[in-house]
Structure 1
Amino acid sequence: MRLSSPTITPNAAPIRFTFDGQEIEALPGESIAAALSAAGIVAFRHTAKGEPRGLWCGMGACWDCIVTVDGRSGQRACLTKVEADMRVTGAPPVVAAPLADPPAEIAERACDLLVVGAGPAGLSAAIAAAGAGAQVVVLDERADPGGQYLKPLATSHASTAPDAQFRRGAVLFAEARAAGIAIHQGATVWGGFAPDEIAALVGNAAVTFRPKRLVLAPGAHERPVPVPGWTLPGVMTTGALQTLARAQRVSPAERIVIAGSGPLNLQLACELLAGGVQVAAVVEAAPKPGLRAWRDLLALAGASPDLAWDGLHYLSTLRRAGVPVLWGSTILACEGTDRFAALRVATPAGERRIVAGVAALNMGFQPETGLARTLGCAQRFVTDGPGAEIGRLETVTDEEGRTSIPGVFAIGDGAAIGGSRVAFARGRLAGLAAAREIGLAAPQDAAARRDLARALAFQRALWRIFAVPPFDAASIAGATTICRCEEVTAAALREAMADGARSLAALKKATRAGMGRCQGRMCGATVARLAGAPAEEAAFAAPRAPVRPIPAAALMREVPEWGETPVIHAPTPTRWRGPASPLRPEDRRCDVLVVGGGVLGLSTALCLAREGVDVLVADRSEPGLAASTANAGSLHVQLLSYDFGEKAEALGTARPAAATLPLGPRSIALWKEIARDAGESCGIRTEGGLMLAETPEQMEWLRGKTAVERGAGIESHVVGANELRGLAPYLAPRFLGAAFCRAEGQIDPLRGTAALLGLVKRAGGRIAGGVQVTGIARDGSGFAVATESGTIRAGRIVVAAGPWSGQVAALAGVRLPVGGLVQQVIATEPTGPFVPHLVAHAGRHLSFKQGAQGHLLIGGGWPGEHHPATGATRNRRESIEGNLWVAGRVVPAVAGLSVLRAWTGINVHVDRAPILGEAPGCPGLFAAVTSSGFTLGPVAGRMTADAVLGREAVAPAFSIARFG
């Protein structure tokens, strides 16, 4: 329905568009979500599991309202403006239209101050700095400035008597324009690679900003409310419904129920009543303020009498309208089938069922700290204020907004929840401070500091009045969806915990929770509470570029790719930040200790345990959290272009890799046995691999390469252009041919690693996580292995610690020439199946495939960065751009998809052949290290187990002894 008002009227004649073939009337300037809501449509799409979904956050943070617009996939209905004759569907397109034009070059732009976010904090900072003479650029994702608090009336409407909030926004926008600030609306900041390297998409153009100072003011999003039915269409946040009602002048239903906690719910109820909507009830979790709250009520009135009066006015308006305010009441469930129908709540007087067409939920807010975290700004875990019963991360700053990273400021609700007046004051102080830091004459502002003090006092009193009961993760019903994007339930998370996952990182990889479009914004805090994670940033999944989904085409830029790959000769191990892991008594002694719980270590342990050997796997974190689950799951058989030094020129330079060729098919067969024994497919597909050639020289090289492979018993041959087009019609038409290896394919590395871990346990192998090995000494004929958790006495040791194996072996005086390479993987949004093969390129760095969930997985050895102090890895912007350019050149359909995430991991760097067997001069200590470790893990593990058992000596080409 459209809301009524004597002072707000439509601005133009209606237009029409279609949604799933149905003609819809809309007003120019309103969002797709608003137009559909006005028509009473709340279900916008269906998930991969067939569940209906609609609007949730209403501000572009959750990505749950995505639709296809004129063939362009993944468009957010809440942010996309409707246009005449637009074709909107809830289903993804069969063939996606390009989302952007690939750039010939990506522009770089310098400025004095870059502000991310055009809400009260960001605009206040920008105006203050510009007033001191700074050149200021503001980037904001929405179509209009103002953020959530000062969002203007949509251009679909005009008002003859705007209220105080609208007037305040108009004044601020006018000040910003008068100050000469460059404000870019519809601009998405997708990565922070350094304080002076901020990657953004401005319109459809990629730009890298190089500011002297950076101010982060991205605002907050409403916290998740994980109750049964909260994913139903018609259940949305209070902020989403307020945007529809206040800015767009629509409501999806004539009868609304509002629940949660805080004054925003009261304000929305009054705004809906004024527009002609029936409000069934306002459900408030906090107890009704009584005489004991008089001090806080006086503090509210003293600090901000106008806001205190607003609150009393809201309550009075609701009382006169007969709207019940149910204090001290808890949300139990949202009921409905295809859409919301009723809200069940527990009140002090008993359970109650409230029938309505839409439910608006708000239990507080969480700061948008992703960009600050990618830059390394220190965070704190907070458990007070609105939404804090579930916990949240906030950015640590001083009063003027300075973070722990020089040159970076964080302000407003995007740094710490404080409300609009705190944001105004901190924004001004930060803008002035940033101007002073770059040498401009900017005054101190005592008035802003006084405003800040009053605003903070008001907020503290308000939070005490609206204090709600603690969040009880144990009470969440098992069938409740926790991760909206990947449809992961509480039961699935608890099952993973029961299977041994103890950290958020392990739960994410075991269940995919947090891997969707919103990147954990809507589930991270809940998962942390379910897992009992420590109250610190390290317990939370790290944000990755892009921090928001971004069109792949907009970043496709050719960059040099055959330079020297930076080898890390002694990579720093990342510290385990999970729960303390004291050794169990039974783990203090074993026959064979396997150091490292990746695929190779687990494969070795499985073979040994099945032979009745007493085997213990010790991992410094949790098994499988490093390269085993950071890779893209390729099952390689044929030689790769980067097996040959700098360029794919001389076949003779690939001798170590060529010696490994027979191991690939054997290992893939073992992977299939592992999947069979685990009772699932592990996502294994072996439909063949293609290595493409664009030039006659590359074709000739492929002929020589396949001859080498056939000589090693690998079924591999060259196909011409015509055969290639029939075999792989998804490829660009530029290729002259390809090498085709039928045995190649892929596996889901998360499922494969989990299956292997389960089989080890089933076979009697023991797993000790959180165990860092610090020393290895002889103990009779065996070893005493010192760890931070105690001493382990082992008869024999297998060093299977991947790129850290050299450091572990060195504790025993054994030299292993092992290093590490930081390499990235990129994942797009899911799409329908169309790429069955593993795709590589004879002259480019590329590994390309389509995963079981429909995501395109793009890699190929593009380098990331390693932090030598912490061991953390991160993406390089140039690697993301270059990797996408190669992928788009090979498979044009990439241009129609968005990139969801890109991640890095440290892979093993050796001479391209496994290092296996007993160490000369150190009887009982064995090495198990290999590149292409996920493919070769099972076979290398079997070979290692045979060596440990004395059954079969390791071939000289793979033996430690080859290094002298």
Structure 2
Amino acid sequence: MRLSSPTITPAAGPIRFTFDGREVDAIPGESIAAALSAAGIVAFRHTAKGEPRGLWCGMGACWDCVVTVDGRSGQRACMVKVEAGMRVEGTPPRDPARLAEAPAAASERACDVLVVGAGPAGLSAAIAAARAGAQVIVLDERGEPGGQYLKPLAGSQADAEPDAQFRRGAALVAEARAAGIAIHQGAAVWGGFARDEIAALVDAAAVTFRPRRLVLAPGAHERPVPVPGWTLPGVMTTGALQALARAQRVSPAERAVIAGSGPLNLQLACELLAGGVQVAAVVEAAPKPGLGAWREVLGMAKASPDLAWDGVRYLATLRRAGVPVLWGSSILACEGTDRFAALRVAAPDGERRIEAGVAALNMGFQPESGLARALGCAQRFATEGSGAEIGRLETVTDEEGRTSVAGVFAIGDGAAIGGSRVALARGRLAGLAVARDLGFLAPEDAAARRDLARALAFQQALWRIFAAPAFDADAIDDTTTVCRCEEVTAGSLRAALAGGARTLASLKKVTRAGMGRCQGRMCGATVARLAGAPAAEDAFAAPRAPIRPTPAAALMREVPEGFEAPVIHAPTPTRWRSPAMPLAPENRACDVLVIGGGVLGLSTALYLAREGADVLLADRSEPGLAASTANAGSLHVQLLSYDFGDKAEALGTAGPAAVTLPLGPRSIALWKEIARDAGEACGIRTEGGLMLAETPAEMEWLHGKTAVERGAGIESHVVGANELRDLAPYLAPRFLGAAFCPLEGQIDPLRGTAALVALARRAGARVAGGVEVTGIARDGARFAVTTEGGTIRAGRVVVAAGPWSGHVAAMAGVRLPVGGLVQQVIATEAAGPLIPHLVAHAGRHLSLKQGPHGHILIGGGWPGEHDPATGATRNRRDSIEGNLWVAGHVVPAVAGLSVLRAWTGMNVHIDRAPILGEAPSCPGLFAAVTSSGYTLGPVAGRTTADAVLGREKVAHAFSIHRFG
């Protein structure tokens, strides 16, 4: 329905567009979500599991309202404005239209101050800095400045008498423009690679900003409310329904119920009433204020009398309208089939069922801290505020907004929840501090500090008035969806915890919670609380670049590929790890100790345990949290062009890589046995691999390469252009041919690693996480392996710690020539079935496939960064851009998809052949290291187990003996 108002009228005549073939009336300037809501349509799409979904956050943070617009996939209905004749569909396109034009060249812009976010905090900071003389640029993702609190009326409406909140927003924006500030709306920051390297899309074009100072003011989003039915269409956040009602002047239904905690719910109820919507009830979790609350009420009135009066006015308006306010009541469930129909609540007088066509839920807010965290700004865990006991990360700052990273400021609700007046005051103080840092004259502002003190006092009193009961993760029903993007239930998470997962990182990899479009914004805190994770940053989903889904086409930039990824000869073990665990009594002695819980260590433990050996596998974190689940899951068989500094090396007959060729098919066969034994497919597909050639020289090299492979017993042959087009119609038409290896394919590394863990335990191996080895010494005929939790006495030791194997082996006096390479993987949004093959290129860095969930996985040896102080790895912007350019050059459909995330992992660097077997200088200590680790893990584990048991010697080409 469209809301009524004596002063607000449509700014233009109606237009029409189609939604799933149905004609829908709209007004120019309103969002697709608003137009659909006005027509009573609340279900915008269906998930992979067939569940209907509609609007949730209403501000572009959750990505749950994505639709296809004129063939463009992944468009947020809450952000895209409707146009006449627009074709909107709730299903992904079969042939996605290109989402953006590729950048012609690198575009960079320098400025004194870059402000991210045009809400109260960001605009206030920008104005203060600009008036002091700084050149200021503001980037904001929304279509209009003002943020959530000061958002203006949509362009579809005209207001003859704007209210005080609208007037404040308009005045602030006018002040900013008068100060000469460049405000870019619709500008999405997708990555923060350094304080002076902020990657953004401005007018759909990629720009890298190089500011002297950076101010982060990205605002907040409403926290999740995981109750049964909260994913139903028609259930949304209070902010989403307020955006529809206040800014767009529509409501999805004539009757609404509002529930949760806080004054925003009261304000929305009054705004809906004024527009002609019937409000069934306002459900408030906090108990009704009694006489004991008079101190808080007086404090609020003293600090901000106008805001305090607003609260009194809201309650009086609801009372006059006969709207019940149910204090001390909690949400039990949202009911409905294909859309919301009723809210069940537990009230002091018993359970109630409130029927309505739309429900708005709010239980507090969480800062949008992803960019601050990506830049390394220190965080704190906070639980203050209405409904906030679930917890949230806030950026640590001083009173002027300085973070732990020099030159970076964080302000407003995007740093710490405090409301608009705190944001305005902190923004002004930060802007003045930034100006002083840059050498401009900017006086102290005592009035701003007084305003801040009053606003903080008001906020603290408000939180005490609206003190909701503590969040109880144990009360979430097993069937309730926690992760909206990946449709992961609380029961699935609890099952993973029962299966041994102990941290959010491992829960993500076992269940996929937090891996969707929103990158954990809507579930990270809940998952952390379910896991009982520590109240720290590592209890939340780690920010990835891009920090929000970003059109791949906009980032595609050809960069030089004549690089060799820098070898890290002694990679630092990452500082992050799951909590240390004391050694269980049964783990203080074993026949064989396997150090390292990656795919090779797990395979070794599995095959040893199946032969009756007493095996303990120890990992400093949790099994499979490093490269084994950070890789893209390629099952390689043929030689790869970028593995060699000189391509001619691949054409020899004795190189380590050529000798290793027969191991690939054997290992893939073992993977299929592992999947069979685990009772699940593990996402294994072997539909063949292609290595493409687009020049005569590359074709000539492919002929030589396949001859080497056939000589090693590998089925491989060259196909011409016509045959290639028939075999792979998804490819660009520029290729002269390809090498085709039918044995190649892919596996889901998350499922494959989980299967190995389960099978190893089933076979009798003991798998212990949180056990860091600190020393290895001889103890007679055995080894004494010291750890943080005690000493393990082992008859034999297998070092299977991947790129850190050299560090571990050195504890026993053994030198292993093992290093590391930081390499990246990129994942796009899911698409329909498109690419059955594993795709590589004879002359470029590329490894590309379509995973089991429909995502395009893109790699190819593009390097990332390694921090020797912390061991952490991170993406490089040019690697993301270059990798995407090659992918789009090969598969044009990539340009029609958005990138969900890019990540890095530490890969093994050795001489291209496995290093296996007993160390000559240390009998009883075995090495188990290989490159192409995920492909070759099972066969290398099988070989290592045979060597440990004395059944079969390791071939010299793979033996540690070859190094003398």
SS of equivalent to 2:652: helix
Q: CA deviation at 1:577?
A: 4.1
Aligned residue runs from structure 1 range 648-667, under 5 A: 651-652=651-652, 655-667=655-667
Q: CA deviation at 1:650?
A: 5.8
The CA distance in 2 between the partners of 1:724 and 1:841, in whole Å, is 13
SS of equivalent to 1:560: coil
The CA distance in 1 between the partners of 2:379 and 2:648, in whole Å, is 46
Correspondence 1:156 to 2:152: no
1:812 equivalent in structure 2: 812
1:23 equivalent in structure 2: 23
The CA distance in 2 between the partners of 1:654 and 1:759, in whole Å, is 36
The CA distance in 1 between the partners of 2:577 and 2:622, in whole Å, is 10
Letter in 2 for 1:614: D
SS of equivalent to 2:108: strand
Q: CA deviation at 1:204?
A: 1.1
1:260 equivalent in structure 2: 260
Q: Is the 8 A contact 1:590 1:795 kept in 2?
A: yes
1:380 equivalent in structure 2: 380
The CA distance in 2 between the partners of 1:562 and 1:487, in whole Å, is 42
1:792 equivalent in structure 2: 792
Q: CA deviation at 1:540?
A: 2.0
2:206 equivalent in structure 1: 206
Q: CA deviation at 1:644?
A: 1.7
Aligned residue runs from structure 1 range 44-123, under 5 A: 44-123=44-123
The CA distance in 2 between the partners of 1:579 and 1:441, in whole Å, is 49
Q: CA deviation at 1:385?
A: 1.2
Letter in 2 for 1:421: R
Q: CA deviation at 1:103?
A: 1.0
Q: CA deviation at 1:636?
A: 0.2
Letter in 1 for 2:233: P
Letter in 1 for 2:362: N
SS of equivalent to 1:786: strand
SS of equivalent to 1:594: strand
Letter in 2 for 1:485: C
Q: Is the 8 A contact 2:649 2:655 kept in 1?
A: no
What are the superposed Cα offsets for residues 473-503 of structure 1, whole Å, 9 maximum, x if unpaired? 0110000000000000000000000110000
The CA distance in 2 between the partners of 1:690 and 1:955, in whole Å, is 30
Q: CA deviation at 1:104?
A: 1.5
Q: Is the 8 A contact 1:98 1:553 kept in 2?
A: yes
Identity of aligned residues (%): 85
SS of equivalent to 2:514: coil
Q: Is the 8 A contact 1:688 1:838 kept in 2?
A: yes
The two structures have a TM-score, normalised by structure 1, of: 1.00
1:279 equivalent in structure 2: 279
1:341 equivalent in structure 2: 341
1:6 equivalent in structure 2: 6
Runs of 4+ in 1 over 3 A off after TM superposition: 646-650
The CA distance in 2 between the partners of 1:414 and 1:643, in whole Å, is 44
The CA distance in 2 between the partners of 1:649 and 1:443, in whole Å, is 67
Letter in 1 for 2:273: L
Q: Is the 8 A contact 1:576 1:620 kept in 2?
A: no
Letter in 2 for 1:736: L
Q: CA deviation at 1:561?
A: 1.7
2:932 equivalent in structure 1: 932
The CA distance in 2 between the partners of 1:803 and 1:386, in whole Å, is 46
What are the superposed Cα offsets for residues 764-817 of structure 1, whole Å, 9 maximum, x if unpaired? 000110111010000111100011111000000000000000000000000000
What are the superposed Cα offsets for residues 74-103 of structure 1, whole Å, 9 maximum, x if unpaired? 000000000000000000111000000111
Letter in 1 for 2:291: L
SS of equivalent to 1:42: coil
Q: Is the alpha carbon distance of 1:876 and 1:387 closer, same or farther for their aligned partners in structure 2, counting shifts above 3 Å? A: farther
Aligned residue runs from structure 1 range 474-493, under 5 A: 474-493=474-493
Aligned residue runs from structure 1 range 179-190, under 5 A: 179-190=179-190
Letter in 2 for 1:462: L
The CA distance in 1 between the partners of 2:338 and 2:768, in whole Å, is 46
The CA distance in 1 between the partners of 2:2 and 2:555, in whole Å, is 40
Correspondence 1:898 to 2:893: no
SS of equivalent to 1:444: coil
Q: CA deviation at 1:921?
A: 1.5
Stretch of structure 1 that moved more, 237-246 or 651-660 = 651-660
Q: Superposition RMSD on alpha carbons, in Å? A: 0.8
Q: Is the 8 A contact 2:822 2:866 kept in 1?
A: yes
1:635 equivalent in structure 2: 635
Q: Is the 8 A contact 1:826 1:899 kept in 2?
A: yes
The CA distance in 2 between the partners of 1:195 and 1:770, in whole Å, is 34
The CA distance in 1 between the partners of 2:806 and 2:355, in whole Å, is 65
Correspondence 1:846 to 2:842: no
The CA distance in 2 between the partners of 1:70 and 1:64, in whole Å, is 19
What are the superposed Cα offsets for residues 121-180 of structure 1, whole Å, 9 maximum, x if unpaired? 000000000000000000000000000000000010111110000000010010011011
Letter in 2 for 1:520: G
SS of equivalent to 2:957: coil
The CA distance in 2 between the partners of 1:65 and 1:422, in whole Å, is 31
Q: Is the 8 A contact 1:594 1:799 kept in 2?
A: yes
1:438 equivalent in structure 2: 438
Aligned residue runs from structure 1 range 160-309, under 5 A: 160-309=160-309
Correspondence 1:394 to 2:398: no
**Structure 2, unpaired ranges of 5+:** none
Q: Is the 8 A contact 2:31 2:80 kept in 1?
A: yes
The CA distance in 2 between the partners of 1:496 and 1:778, in whole Å, is 38
What are the superposed Cα offsets for residues 678-705 of structure 1, whole Å, 9 maximum, x if unpaired? 0000000000000000100000000000
1:626 equivalent in structure 2: 626
Q: CA deviation at 1:378?
A: 0.1
The CA distance in 2 between the partners of 1:904 and 1:647, in whole Å, is 26
Q: CA deviation at 1:646?
A: 5.3
Between Structure 1 and Structure 2, how many residues are aligned? Answer: 964
SS of equivalent to 2:900: strand
What are the superposed Cα offsets for residues 626-684 of structure 1, whole Å, 9 maximum, x if unpaired? 00000000000000002221556763398111010000000000000000000000000
Q: Is the 8 A contact 1:69 1:86 kept in 2?
A: yes
1:550 equivalent in structure 2: 550
Correspondence 1:702 to 2:711: no
Q: CA deviation at 1:574?
A: 1.4
Q: CA deviation at 1:562?
A: 2.2
Letter in 1 for 2:118: A
Letter in 2 for 1:411: I
The CA distance in 2 between the partners of 1:11 and 1:603, in whole Å, is 67
Q: Is the 8 A contact 1:573 1:804 kept in 2?
A: yes
The CA distance in 1 between the partners of 2:200 and 2:430, in whole Å, is 22
Q: Is the 8 A contact 1:492 1:511 kept in 2?
A: yes
Q: Is the 8 A contact 1:645 1:653 kept in 2?
A: no
Aligned residue runs from structure 1 range 416-427, under 5 A: 416-427=416-427
Q: Is the alpha carbon distance of 1:639 and 1:314 closer, same or farther for their aligned partners in structure 2, counting shifts above 3 Å? A: same
Letter in 2 for 1:220: A
SS of equivalent to 1:829: strand
The CA distance in 2 between the partners of 1:648 and 1:24, in whole Å, is 62
The two structures have a TM-score, normalised by structure 2, of: 1.00
SS of equivalent to 2:958: coil
Q: Is the 8 A contact 1:862 1:883 kept in 2?
A: yes
Correspondence 1:514 to 2:514: yes
Q: Is the 8 A contact 1:539 1:577 kept in 2?
A: no
Q: Is the alpha carbon distance of 1:654 and 1:898 closer, same or farther for their aligned partners in structure 2, counting shifts above 3 Å? A: farther
Letter in 2 for 1:237: T
1:691 equivalent in structure 2: 691
2:583 equivalent in structure 1: 583
**Structure 1, unpaired ranges of 5+:** none
SS of equivalent to 1:957: helix
Letter in 2 for 1:565: A
The CA distance in 2 between the partners of 1:650 and 1:788, in whole Å, is 45
Q: Is the alpha carbon distance of 1:916 and 1:895 closer, same or farther for their aligned partners in structure 2, counting shifts above 3 Å? A: same
1:564 equivalent in structure 2: 564
2:951 equivalent in structure 1: 951
1:888 equivalent in structure 2: 888
1:315 equivalent in structure 2: 315
The CA distance in 2 between the partners of 1:204 and 1:538, in whole Å, is 33
SS of equivalent to 2:791: strand
Correspondence 1:757 to 2:757: yes
Q: Is the 8 A contact 1:629 1:749 kept in 2?
A: yes
Q: Is the alpha carbon distance of 1:653 and 1:572 closer, same or farther for their aligned partners in structure 2, counting shifts above 3 Å? A: farther
Q: Is the 8 A contact 1:229 1:480 kept in 2?
A: yes
Letter in 2 for 1:47: T
The CA distance in 2 between the partners of 1:200 and 1:654, in whole Å, is 48
Q: Is the alpha carbon distance of 1:189 and 1:654 closer, same or farther for their aligned partners in structure 2, counting shifts above 3 Å? A: farther
The CA distance in 1 between the partners of 2:886 and 2:307, in whole Å, is 56
SS of equivalent to 1:307: helix
Q: Is the alpha carbon distance of 1:654 and 1:284 closer, same or farther for their aligned partners in structure 2, counting shifts above 3 Å? A: farther
